[in-house]
Amino acid sequence: MKGVILAGGKGTRLHPLTRLMNKHLLPVGKYPMVCYGIDRLRRGGITDILLIISKQSAGQYTDFLGSGAEFGVNLTYKIQEAAGGIAEALELAEGFILPGERFVVLLGDNLFLEDLTPYMEKYAEQPPGTAKVLLKPVEDARRYGVPVFDDKDASLIAYIEEKPEQPKTNFCVTGIYMYDEAVFGIIKRIAPSGRGELEITDVNNIYAGEGKLSYDVLKEWWSDAGTFESLQEAGQKLGNTLP
């Protein structure tokens, strides 16, 4: 299984820091944020990792991470020329993912303590052409994509509502996804949203509508480190978790 980390984006909620450097290179404890996603994939046995980055920060990434050998992985880089949505960034992994291969996608600002291995093993047992997302209970689900579960099969998601005013559950869809190469065909089926981006929720809702989107629930700490408060919390939780 391979890994893909999406680490472009402008991180506007973290201005003025992100005027200086890409959000995913901001320090979390002793290391840049992106290192924790790399480490979680490596701990799950994934050593072949694609980093999708913006051209403005490409030099910073390669200067610090290099080939990935220092972190026990093999890194490949691809540039997302302009912000066009998570699904557009994910589409750049086509070619890196070979026919028959499965892979884990992490949003670079999703930080967590959990071992991904059992979730990856369960996904490996699913039929080809299916997908899995990881969920987490949260206090205010209105900030996230919220899953609505299938009435007939509790192991599946019926659909995902993006930032609903009245969430039907208290779960959010984290930025941890599992796919095979079929996802690239699905990305080609969606159209840009009202904000002109290819949305990952639209991709996942196609899987859900076809009865092909399973889920698991993270048990340990998780955060999307997109605010100063969550960035500080992440430093406290993760500051000493890398070798």
Q: Averaged over 59-65, what is the pLDDT?
A: 94
- In contact, 29 and 240? CB cutoff 8 Å: yes
DSSP state at residue 50: E
For the beta carbon of residue 148, count every other beta carbon within 10 angstroms: 16
Q: Which of 164, 107, 124, 108 is nearest to 44 (CA)?
A: 124
Spell out the SS3 assignment of 155-184: CEEEEEEECCCCCCCCEEEEEEEEEECHHH
Least confident of 98-102, 147-151, 189-193, 228-232: 228-232
Q: Averaged over 217-233, what is the pLDDT?
A: 87
pTM listed for this prediction? 0.94
Give the pLDDT score at 233.
Answer: 86
Q: How confident is the model at residue 29 (pLDDT cuts 50, 70, 90)?
A: confident
Give the pLDDT score at 94.
Answer: 97
Q: What is the pLDDT of residues 160-184, one digit of tens each?
A: 999 999 999 999 999 999 999 999 9
Amino acid at 97: I
Q: How confident is the model at residue 238 (pLDDT cuts 50, 70, 90)?
A: confident
Bridge partners of 27? Answer: 32
Q: What share of the chain is helix, strand, coil (3-state, %, to 5)?
A: 30, 30, 40
Q: Averaged over 199-225, what is the pLDDT?
A: 96
User: Which residues have a Cβ under 8 Å from the Cβ of 64 and sit 6 or more positions away?
Assistant: 25, 32
Q: Does 16 have pLDDT greater than 70?
A: no
